Amino acid sequence: MILNEGVALFVFLTLLVRIIMSPLLSMLAIAGLYSSMWLPQIVRSAKRMTSSGLSPEYILGTTLGRLALALCRQPCYSRY
């Protein structure tokens, strides 16, 4: 069991270092985190067998706006 935990820790740390070192991977990680914020709402709606309480325009606008903020910050970091 300890060997499996050690391998999992090694893989996690390797991915973490690669994400930090690569701008493309860091942007993909940020985009994934921003889009995963909708998962609890989707799961809740699926369990209750109801449609989303939020309009599609609101969801799309909020997601694009938050993603745009993350993408706008990237060029600032690449200057240094």
Coarse DSSP helix, strand, coil percentages of the chain, rounded to the nearest 5 percent: 85, 0, 15
Which residues 6+ apart lie within 8 Å of 73 measured at CB? Answer: none
pLDDT tens, residue by residue, 14-65: 888 877 777 777 778 778 887 787 788 778 878 888 775 677 888 888 888 8
Radius of gyration of the chain, Cα coordinates, nearest whole angstrom: 17
The domain spans of the chain are 23-78
Is the pTM value of this prediction over 0.95? no
